[in-house]
Amino acid sequence: MKYAFPLAAVIALVLIALILVQIPGMQYLFGVVIPYLAMALFLGGFCYRVIHWGKSPVPFRIPTTCGQGYSLPWIKQDKLEAPVNTAQVVARMFLEIVLFRSLWRNTKATVYAGPKLTYESSKWLWLFSIMFHYSFLVIVIRHMRLFLDPVPGLVTFVEIGDSLLQIGAPVMYTTDVTIVLALLFLFGRRLMNPQVRYLSLVNDYFPLFLILGIVITGILMRFFIRTNVDINAIKQLAFGLVTFSPTIVTEISSLFYVHLFLVCTLLAYFPFSKLMHMGGVFLSPTRNLANNSRMKRHINPWNPDIKPHSYASYEDEFREDMVEQGIPVEKELPPKAND
């Protein structure tokens, strides 16, 4: 049920768009109103989450370290695993964000007969994660040609690089294949691995099915139902959306509205899901803090300002109670005056 419900939800979204877009006037709703609402939710939710995280106090130095920290001069420091200054933290963050370094170093634990616990390298997850993220990035950059006029050279360069392995006509992009393979692997991993399947929730499967639906509808429009898709009308609509003058001048394929509706759903869902790790990774104190607790004293700003309380003043304050309870004191109580 954990994956049946999100799959049914995505199918329902497809059917809703496919049926309602047949009603006259609903094309404007799916082509203009919903995209604007989705983008507003995406930008507003994204900014809110990032600002909220940015305001969260971090009273302690809690960087994740698994290497030799800075110590004596003759002991070699692991500058990436235990950074002590800003430059080392930036290098660590760069490798983490661009190359998924921590995922590359990931290991899997397996119990064999005996029992015997072994730790083995697990590079497949890193490979398909890299494939998915960079394929998604390239696809987004390629789609920028629909929103920009003239098309920047960067977008053209990325598109040419993505179509170097030209197969047939229309051109088959490499990322169209790699993103499908990556999504199938990530989904299969959640089904086949007992530990991951147990930990997976509905909100882990829903983005996979949603993105897979977006990819499949895009591939269908490009390779299989191309004759019913007016690319000029789509570009005119996309350019009108970014210039706040949207128009729907001709009949556009119903599949395009399904594709666009799924994209809008992803944008609206993004800030409220685990996909927000795209922004959260930059604000993670386990990654963006220097491991310099031994070099610099860090005082918790939450601690109240407490004045020093010496033992002498403590005894002066509670001497009578201490004597009454039989606790030894340094100074005896002064004799009481006779009535």
- pLDDT values of the chain reduced to their tens digit, one per residue, 339 residues: 788 899 999 999 999 999 999 888 889 999 999 999 999 999 999 999 999 998 888 878 888 888 888 888 899 999 998 999 999 999 999 999 999 988 888 777 777 777 787 777 778 899 999 999 999 999 999 999 999 888 899 999 999 888 887 766 677 889 999 999 999 999 999 988 888 888 889 999 999 999 999 999 999 988 877 666 778 888 889 999 999 998 887 778 889 999 999 999 999 999 999 999 999 999 999 989 999 888 888 777 777 777 777 888 888 888 888 888 888 888 887 776 554
Beta carbons within 8 Å of 303's beta carbon, 6+ residues apart: none
Angle formed by the axes of helices 202-219 and 254-269, nearest 10°: 150
For residue 245, the SS3 value is: coil
Closest CA to 90 of 79, 100, 78: 79
Q: What is the pLDDT of residue 338?
A: 55
Instruction: Give the sign of the dihedral formed by CA 82, CA 88, CA 94, CA 99.
Output: negative
CA triple 168-140-154, angle to 5 deg: 85
DSSP state of 118: E
Residue listed under structure tokens 């403590």: 314
Q: What is d(CA 103, CA 172) in angstroms, rounded to the nearest whole number?
A: 30
Residue listed under structure tokens 């590079």: 123
Farthest-apart Cα atoms in the chain, separation: 114
Paired residues of 110 in beta bridges:
118
Q: Are 260 and 35 in contact (CB under 8 A)?
A: yes
For residue 83, say if its preceding peptide bond is cis, omega within 30 degrees of 0.
Answer: no
Q: What is d(CA 206, CA 57) in angstroms, rounded to the nearest whole number?
A: 32
- What's the count of helices (H) and strands (E) in the chain, helices before strands? 15, 2
Q: What's the half-sphere exposure (Cβ side, CA atoms, 13 Å) at 237? A: 24
Q: What is d(CA 108, CA 302) in angstroms, rounded to the nearest whole number?
A: 39
Q: What is the pLDDT of residue 226?
A: 65
